[in-house]
Amino acid sequence: MGLPKKIRQLSGMTWTIRTDQYERLAQMDRLGEMDEAALEIHIGRAKLPQIQKTLIHEMLHAISGDIFGGTSQNLSEEQVRVISSALLVVLQANPSMVAYLMTREKDTRHK
C-alpha cells in the first residue's frame, strides 16, 4: 500500500499529502511539514519507517490545530514527536486492533 494522497480531519476538511517538496524540505533539514493555510502535509524522501513516523507526526500537528485552533493549548513539538513515535509502534504491533478500529458500526459484530 502506498502513501495516501488525502487525509480527512475531524472538522471534515481534507488535507492533501504532497511528496514534491523534498528538495526544499532537505534544504531546511526537515522530513515533513504541514501547511495549514493550504491544507497540505509535505513529506520528504526517507525510508518507509521514517516516512510513516513523519506522516503521523504531521497529522498530529494538523489534529492539534484542528482541535485547539492555533492556541497555546496546541501540542508542542516535543509532545507530537513522542506521541507520534509511540503511536506508530502501538499501531504496527497490533494489526488486529487497527483492523477493529477501521470497522464501521454496521460492520461490528461482537462475538
Q: What is the pLDDT of residue 69?
A: 80
Q: What is the dihedral of CA 101, 104, 109, 111, to 10 degrees?
A: 0
- Taking only the tens place, the pLDDT of each residue in 40-98 is 999 999 999 999 999 999 999 988 888 888 677 889 999 999 999 999 999 999 999 99
Q: In whole angstroms, give the CA distance from residue 39 to residue 62.
A: 9
**Sheet strands (E) in 1-111:** 6-8, 14-18, 32-35, 40-43
Non-local (6+) Cβ contacts of 108 within 8 A are: none
Residue 108 clears pLDDT 70, i.e. is over it: no
> pTM of the entire structure?
0.84
- Taking only the tens place, the pLDDT of each residue in 3-43 is 999 999 877 889 999 999 889 999 999 999 999 889 999 99
Q: What is the pLDDT of residue 52?
A: 95
